[in-house]
Each structure stands twice: as structure tokens, then as C-alpha cells.
Structure 1
Amino acid sequence: MRRITVPIALLALLALLGPAVPAVAAQAAPPAPSITWTACDPAEEAPEGLLCATIKVPVDWSKPGGPTIDLALAKRPATDPSRRIGSLLINPGGPGGSGVDFAYTSGDAFSPAVTDRFDIVGFDPRGQARSSVINCDGELIGAQAIRLYPDDKTEYADLRATNKALALSCRELSGPLVKYVDTASVARDMDAIRTALGEKKISYYGVSYGTMIGQQYAELFPGRIRALALDSNMDHAQTIAGYQKWETLAMEGSFLQFTAWCDRTEACALHEQGALAYFDELYARAEAGELIVDGAPLPPEDLVNWVFGYMYNPNSWFDLAETLIYIEEGGESARGEPAPNGYLPVMCSDFHFDVGAYPVMRAIESAQNRLAPHTRLNPLAWSDLASCQNWPWEVTNPPHRLRASDKLPPILLANSRWDVATPYEWGTSLASQLPSARFLTYDGVGHGTYWRSDCARAAIDMYLVELRTPKKGTHCPAVFPSSPVTTQAAPTVVDPLPELTGPFRR
């Protein structure tokens, strides 16, 4: 059946056709990595004072003497070098977010408490951005996007066939790296970066998918950590059922926070109509094939896709209310453009998502619909599940509870109570796996607590600089916008995540 493509169907999974990964160079044995910092490419317009470099890492860490790829890095030197603590490695999430771009924006994204004391070092993970980006067949990407919600066995078979063909195209266009982009490999890359930086122990801030990198690093290299701040946590121990359940409840709960906010906020465009009733009516029309957008029926799942991205940051909720009115009036859809990324190979390498037969897939969908009577399911979680059906290679980094070492130092975990991409329950589950962790709750809505809450940001800054964690059971109060011109974060920091990862990624 025909589906209208809207941003989530594209931005969470897509990649353009592009040049294949350059041929990798074989070497007899890997030398100790080193870094030669130089001025960044002028064409990239990096902020003044930033430095760039590359280091070589093995494609396959089980064969360290085999072919290599170059990882791209950028460094923003500490602005108060006399009080420098060391290097702070950073990752903005995704999978697919650019750590190099994160470093470029770090002067605005982090507080002076952090930028004064650390060399902030970002890297593009393997398969992403400047580090041998994974490219796939553009036509197959589009074919997958319209098959993510199969209604019967035939459509499900089409989805599985398309998924396999897409994966094989990634291998053809990007080389063997497509099978070696799991998060454990990225964690090993990060330790190579630590060695090259000359740091005995690292400090790290990871947000969203970036928390998975930090978690895997803690498991593999517990004695090489100074500080580990993990913000908006994923949980690698999730089963298919748990993954879908908590993501679906996070979508429903976040959306109900929006509708309750709209009801009490006069400046919300749907304040008088009632946002929940308005949305339910739109959904009913979409189910009946009567919601016409851009001259064609808008499927109900695409309506939810449209709403999904606005849940990342409540400051966008005034725009969401206007958008729902625009949809009701039949306005043209704003379609996202495909971009090179390695999102799908990472997710299909890190989680067991293949369910086999169509009735299992249908039962999972029905269960989510019962959990979330308004939004039905979480588009990001569902696209993860649907897109990894019939992935042709093994899960190289199988999901499991973290094996925490007694060598781990105190770790800081932070999650929003309502986070559409990384549910609160994932954070509490992770905390139970890490005895040395202190868990901080932001009681509001949104993704990336560092930019949602002054309170959370101060706690993360204090931990990174002073290695002091907040008191056990600390909660930061929710913050909601009162008018379209207000912001949740202090003017000294700017949320970089929408630009770095897009609104439909972790």
C-alpha cells in the first residue's frame, strides 16, 4: 500500500548514494596511535582556535593488524590552560551524530565551567560523517521507507526483501566496514583516541546514543575512566518487548504532557479547542483515509511521525500546535531530504530485532496500540524494529546487562521523566546495572537534560569538573515555556542536538 513519506521515515534511517568508502590500507601490525593536530579545513568554517586531526583504527578490532580506516577528530582547547584538567571526549548521539561538529559548537553548547577546564575533543564514529560514512542505495532507502508499516504477510515479505537488498547495497557501496560499526567497536576506537591523546584516564560526556558508547567503554575499560557523564540513557539490556513498550509509553506520556501544557497555556494555538481532542479527531480522519495533506491521504502513522520530533524540546510546542492546525487545513507536507548516515547498520548490529513471522510483528504492533490509545506507538522504535527485519549479518554486539567492574569510579546518569527517544525507565534500568552510578532525574519533558534544565546542567558540570555527584535521589524541577519567545536553558548555552543529529535520532 502507498505511504506518504514524512521526516521520521527518512531522517531516522536514510542515506544518499555517495562515494564508497575509500580503499582501506592493510598493515602488518598496528602502531601506537598518534595525533598530529592541525588547523581545520577552512571550507568547514570551524570556530577560531579549533584543531583537527585523524587517527587510524582497525576495521575489525579482532584483527588489529588488518585493514584500517581514519577517524576524524576536532579539539577545542581549554580556554584557561593554567587550570586545565585534561581532555573531555564528547558524543551527541544518533547513531550518526558528528562529534567533530559537536566540538565545533562546544563553545556555545557547554558552560564556561567546562570549556575553561577541558580540551573538548569530538570524533566522528566509524561509519559516520567524516569517518568513512556508510552509503547505501538511495532508491532502496526510499523503498524501505514506504514499507515500514506492513498490513499483511505480503507487505511484510516485501519489507524483509527490501531490507536485505538495502543492507547488501550498503556493503557494495561502503565496503566491509558496514559489518563492523557496532558500539563495542566504537568504544574500542575511543580507547585508541585516549591513548593517542596521552591520557591515562578519560573524562566523557555522551548524550542519547552517546550514552551507549560510554556504557560500553565502562564495561571494556573500567580502569581508564576519570569521569563518565551519561545524559538521556539508552539501555542495551532491552528485549524487543521492553524496547517497544517503554518507547511507546514515552511517546504517549510526552504527548499527554504537551496536551496538558496546551490546555493551561493561553498562548498555545489549540488552547481553546483542546489539543488532545483536536489530535484524536485528526487521527480518526487519518484512519478513515479522510485527512488530506498535499493532495493525498495522510496515513495515521505519518501523523504521529510528524508529532514525534516536537517531543524532543518543549520550546517547539507552540510550533506543534500551529502545525496540527496546518495539517487539519490540508497544508503541504514538509518532506525531509535523505542524508548519508550509518544509523541502520549500528542499530541492527547492537540489538536483536528480527521477529521472524508476520503474526509476531502484528502482535507487537497491537500491544503498542493498546498501551498508547492516542499516539499508538513510538515511530522511532517501530522504525528500528521494522528496518532490521531480515538484516543479513549477525548481531555483532548482542544486547545484555552491563558487566560492571569494581574498578569503576562514580558515574553520573541523568534522564528526563518524559523523554520520547530515551525513556526514563531505560535510565533507571541502567542505574541498577551500575553500582557506582548516581542517578539524576529531570522531572520535565525533553531529550538531553543538559539543555533542558539549569539544575541538571549545574549537576553535570560539577561532576565533570569536581568529580562530585549530586545527592542520592536528586530531582530537578520541570521547566515549561510560557510564551514562544521564552527558552528553557540559560542564554549562555545553546542546544546543539537538532543540528547535530536531526530531530528524529537519539
Structure 2
Amino acid sequence: MKRTKGLTAALTAVTGLVACAGLIGCAGPEAEAKPETAVPDRFYSQQLDWKACGDPKLDEAGAQCADVTVPLNYAEPEGATLTVAISRIAATDPARKHGVMLSNPGGPGGAGLDFMVDVGKAMTPDVRASYDLIGMDPRGIGRSSRIQCHWPVGMGLRSAGVDAAAFAESAAAQADLAARCATEEAARLPYITTRNTARDMDVIRGIFGVDRISYYGTSYGTYLGAVYTQMFPDRSDRIVLDSAADPDNYGTVGMMQAMGPANEAALDLWADWVAARDGEYHFGTDRAQVRGAVQDLIRQAADKPIRLGEYEVDDHWLPLVLFVGLDSPQQYGMLAGQIRTLADAAAGKPVELDETLNATLGYALKARPEDNSPQMAVLCGDVAAPRDPAFYLRNVEAARATQPVFGPFSNNITPCAFWAPPAEPATQVRNSVPALIVQSTGDTRTAYDGAVALHRDMSASRLVTLKDVPIHWIFGRYENACAYSAVNTYFRDGTLPAEDVTCRAD
């Protein structure tokens, strides 16, 4: 094995990392809630300079883009400012226009300027006629005064690996990522949060001169949408939350832990699919054989990282390839080909790196085109994470028996363990704002139980359940007549279903 530290030695090494927390602002209690500060009218009344977006996808859709100026810190609105980039695809029939629809594609950390191009294609013509569709790169992301931590890798999420020594490596790497962000972005990090993005959305609402905004969000975007309804309930119109996060479980611990069982279940389905095609992929003829081949490959990568072109894929990163591929059954063939390529490379066979695997590894290992530090800026800025590395290692080890592939990933330590405390308490969502929640039972990113919890927290909501499909993000990605009809009906006339709805794959 390349790692020889035992459990005690690894814990001792990792625990020392917490000492760096004081250097990056981890010491001290979290801030208490403060009343909202009045935002000067000049932010709400600013005139936008609409221009071509300079992006082929947006330009082809006829979108225009503009920059919105918002306070860096809403508690000090006369201080420093940020730029938030937005796009607008105009309603196709201004005479029938109902209003303005904002959006978010998830992440957190996802740039959303072009998001509504895809979502708009799932809308019926009468819905498209009714809304100006607004894409947005949230603060600190994409074109919106992007956070730049200059990480040596792309991702702040990775597996803990196969043993305690691998976990110690992982924890050291995560502490380094947090320290880099603190060094590069200390002045802005406290304000790259969901609550501030919700405030930015309300500034955008004011700029458009409307009393209320409609909204479509998926994945993390459901949390942002829910937070907006909590902070601005009287300014929320028709709200659709697709593939929903549990706001009480949001963050890098509970939300991540919920991904473990969901991804193991999806891995079972994928293994069945691959086993039925053993003549093509050669991993075995039943679920157990395919799973065994995957787990053997992870152990092999721990002994000797798999060399694939410019990449070295070890036990920290191989589970991430699986995680990326398992969020849609439409990707099963793509993922099987990727794992076959990695297995062949591990065996010393000549391989070709396809575009999809190159994209995943380039983003994760090489920060190409940019690192995903804005994701951690939002997650760590929203919710405090436990500081003690032993907490994470105990959870990793406890999960291995039932979650051999994803337990070490979904329970691993993240940069949030070494981050400054949030500037504001986490938002508790409890309201009666009407909303439509859409969720698949097999979702691997935001587990189904989270949508049920959000449905309970938003007492006037309705839940549309897509049964027995392991898909994340439905409307605009996974065509389903039942779910699409519910969303389009709500956006068209504001009518929620009389009761919760259960849909099945077409």
C-alpha cells in the first residue's frame, strides 16, 4: 500500500490541522441574527445597460445581458459593491405577459446565465409567452465578481479513500484549499452566501418594476428559492423547486450524508445495466460481479494511481467519476465506458480518453477551466461545519459496511471544517408561500426525503413525485409528460394541483 499510517497516527496528524483554523478566521462564535438593513433606493432603481451576451447559446436564443450593482454587505449598503450578471429572454407575447421568472441551476457554484435556454424548451408556448426568463450568475460565480481562490485542483469534494491514512491526506488537502481561499478572498468570502443572493434577487425584482417574481430552481437552486420565499414571502409569485434540498439538512454534512445511500442504490441499478451488457463492458454478468470490479478498481487506484494521459486518478477521485455519472439513467452507457477506460488504463492497456471523461477529470483534478471554489464559498458561508476531523473519520468508517463506494465520499471532511464561521445564522424555512416541488424518488444529489421535508416546511406547497427514476433535475432534462404538465400548468395559470401528484416514467 502507498499509505501505512494506522488509525491513531492518522487521527493525530489530522487533528493538528485544526490549529490552522485560527489563521483563516475559524475562531469565535457565529454571528447572531440581525434585522434587515434598509437598502438604498438607488440599487432598486438602477437603469441597466442591456447588450448582446457574447455567448453563442444565449445569443442564438435572442437573449440580452446586463450587469446589476449590489452591495457586497447588505448590512453596510454604502460600502463596497459587487456586480451580478443577468440575462433576459423576453416573453414571446408581451400582450400576454404575466411577469418575470428568475432562476438558478444549482451547485451551489453553478453559473446560470444560459440556464433558462434549456428550461425554456420544456415550457409550452403559452408559458413562454407569459414570462421574461431571467438567467443569473449568482454573486461570486461566473461573470458575477467571481471568487478566485486559485486552487491546485478543481473540486472541494472528494472521497476519503480506502483507509485512515487516505483520510489524513484528504483532510490536509481540504485544509489547504480553505487556507488558499482565506488568503485570496478574505474580504469577500463572508458575503458570498445564499441569503445575500436572495437579497440580490429582490434588487433585480425592483429593477424590473414588479411586485413579485416567479422562480424556477433545481438542486441547490431549490434551497435558494426556499430561502427567498422565507425572506420575501410577499414578493414571491409562482415558485417551482425541482429536485429539492431539505433546508434543515442543507450543508456539507447532512446533505452530503443523504447522498450516500441514494448513490449506492443508483450504483446497483447501473451495475444491473452493465451486467446485462457484459459482452461490451466485461465487468461481470450480475450486480455483485460488477460492483466487485468497481471496488477492486478503487483499491487498485489506492495502491497505484491510474495514469490516464495527464491525469492520475486515485481512490479520492475515482468515486467522483461515478458520482458525476450516476445522476441520470441516460448516462449509464457513458459512465460504463469511462470506467472501462479507467480499468484498461490500470491494466496497462492503451486507451483513448474520451471527451466526457476528459471534462470530468479536467474539472476535478486540473481546475479547468476554473476551480469550483465558489461552491465552497457558498456552502461554508451558509452553514457551519464540525471542526473535529475525528468526527468525519468515524462517520466514514461507520458507513463503509453498507456504503462501500460512496460512504467515504458522502461522509468525508470538506474545506468547511477549516472555514471562517458564517456571518449570519442559517435560514430556517417555515412558511405558507405556495410552491410546486418536483422530485424523483431515486435522486442521487438531493435525496427524496429532502423534498418531503421541504414540502412539510412550506405548508402551502404541492409535491409532484416521479417514481422509480434515478434522475436529478427533471423539468428541462428528463422529459416526463406528467411532471411537465404539472409545471407548465402552474406557470401558465398559477393553479397548483388539488393534491400531491405521483408520476411514472413515460
Q: Partner residue of 1:181?
A: 192
Measure, in 1, the Cα distance between the counterparts of 2:107 and 2:279.
33
Structure 2 vs 1, CA of residues 171 and 245 (structure 1 numbering), >3 Å: closer, same or farther? Answer: closer
Identity, in percent, stands at 26
1:214-363 equivalence runs, <5 A: 214-238=225-249, 242-263=254-275, 269=281, 273-287=285-299, 289=302, 293-294=306-307, 298-330=313-345, 331=351, 334=358, 335-337=361-363, 338=367, 339-341=370-372, 342-356=374-388, 358-363=389-394
Q: Distance in 2 between matches of 1:35 and 1:219?
A: 28
Partner of 2:400: 369
Counterpart contact for 2:68–2:83, Cα < 8 Å? yes
Distance 1:363 1:448 in 2: 32
**Which residue among 414, 423, 439 is the counterpart of 2:463?**
439
1:130 and 2:143 aligned: yes
Q: Does 1:448 align with 2:478?
A: no
Distance 1:265 1:145 in 2: 31
Is the Cα–Cα contact under 8 Å of residues 236 and 399 in structure 1 kept in the other structure? no
Match for residue 423 of structure 1 among 438, 447, 452:
447
**CA deviation after TM superposition for structure 1 residue 302, in Å:** 2.9
Alignment match, 1:201? 212
SS in 2 for 1:363: helix
Following the alignment from structure 1 to structure 2, what is the Cα–Cα distance between the partners of residues 423 and 112? 32
Aligned equivalent of 2:203: 192
Aligned partners of 1:74 and 1:104 also within 8 Å: no
Q: Which moved more, 1:307-316 or 1:197-206?
A: 307-316
Is the aligned partner of 1:388 residue 2:416? yes
C-alpha displacement of 1:37: 4.9
After superposition, the C-alpha distances for 1:255-296 in whole angstroms (9 at most, x for unaligned) are 122223445679974696235412322313532556763279
Distance in 1, Cα, partners of 2:483 & 2:218: 13
The 1-side partners of 2:406 and 2:63 are apart by 45
Opposite residue 85 of structure 1, the aligned amino acid is H
Q: Displacement, 1:64? A: 1.8
The 8 Å contact of residues 440 and 465 in structure 2, kept in 1 or not, is answered as yes
Contact 1:251 1:378 in 2 (8 A): no
**What residue in structure 1 maps to residue 99 of structure 2?**
86
Q: 1:471 to 1:322 in 2, by over 3 A?
A: farther
Using the TM superposition, name which of 58-67 and 184-193 deviates more.
Answer: 58-67
Which sits farther off after the overlay, 50-59 or 222-231? 50-59
More displaced 10-residue stretch of structure 1: 287-296 or 304-313 = 287-296
Q: Read off the aligned partner of 1:324 and give its amino acid letter.
A: I
CA distance in 2, matches of 1:439, 1:270: 41
CA distance in 2, matches of 1:468, 1:441: 17
- CA contact under 8 A between 1:51 and 1:74: conserved in structure 2? yes
TM-score (structure 1 length as normaliser): 0.79
CA–CA distance in 2 between the matches of 1:292 and 1:201?
A: 53
RMSD over aligned Cα, in angstroms? Answer: 3.1
1:103–1:122 Cα contact (<8 Å) kept: yes
User: Which position in structure 2 is the counterpart of 1:484?
Assistant: none
Q: Which runs of 5+ in 1 are unaligned?
A: 4-27, 480-506
Give 2:29's aligned residue.
none
Aligned CA distance change for structure 1 residues 117 and 37 (closer, same or farther; 3 Å): farther
Aligned-partner residue type, residue 112 of structure 2: G
| SS at 1:46 equivalent | helix
CA gap 1:116/1:261 in 2 versus in 1, 3 angstroms: farther
**How far is the alpha carbon of 1:143 from its aligned partner?**
10
Return the letter of the residue paired with 1:372. Answer: Q
CA drift of 1:182 comes to 0.8
- Give me the whole-angstrom Cα distance separating, in 2, the residues matched to 1:421 and 1:216: 19
Say if 1:158 and 1:271 are closer, same or farther in 2 by CA, change over 3 A.
closer
Q: How many residues align?
A: 443
2:130 to 108, 117, 123: 117
Give the Cα separation in 2 of the matches to 1:349 and 1:30: 27
Residue 248 of structure 2 aligns to which amino acid in structure 1? Answer: A
> Structure 1 CA distance, aligned partners of 2:451 and 2:497?
16
CA distance in 2, matches of 1:43, 1:322: 31
The letter of the residue matching 1:426 is: G
Equivalence for 1:171: 185
The answer (yes or no) to whether the contact 2:156–2:376 under 8 Å persists in 1 is: no
Alignment of 1:99-110 (within 5 A): 99-108=112-121, 110=123
| Aligned residue number for residue 437 of structure 2 | 413
- Structure 1 300/164 Cα, relative in aligned 2: closer, same or farther at 3 Å? closer
Letter in 2 for 1:368: A
Q: 1:62 to 1:276 in 2, by over 3 A?
A: farther
Following TM superposition, by how much is the alpha carbon of 1:185 offset from its aligned partner in structure 2, in angstroms? 0.6
Structure 1 residue matching 2:182: 3-state secondary structure:
helix
**Per the alignment, in what secondary structure is the counterpart of residue 353 of structure 1?**
coil
Closer, same or farther: CA 156–298 of 1 in aligned 2, 3 Å: closer
Deviation track 1:108-154 (CA, whole Å, cap 9, x = no partner) reads 35443432221101121100111100001233x47978896583486
> Residue deviations 1:35-73, cap 9 Å, x none?
435231446562253222222111001112222112111
Contact map agreement 1:251 1:420 (CA 8 A) in 2 = yes
Distance 1:411 1:143, change over 3 A: closer
Written as runs of structure 1 = structure 2, the 5 A alignment for 1:9-48 is: 29=40, 31=42, 32-42=44-54, 46-47=59-60
Instruction: Mark the CA change 1:143 to 1:103 in structure 2 (over 3 Å): closer, same or farther.
Output: closer
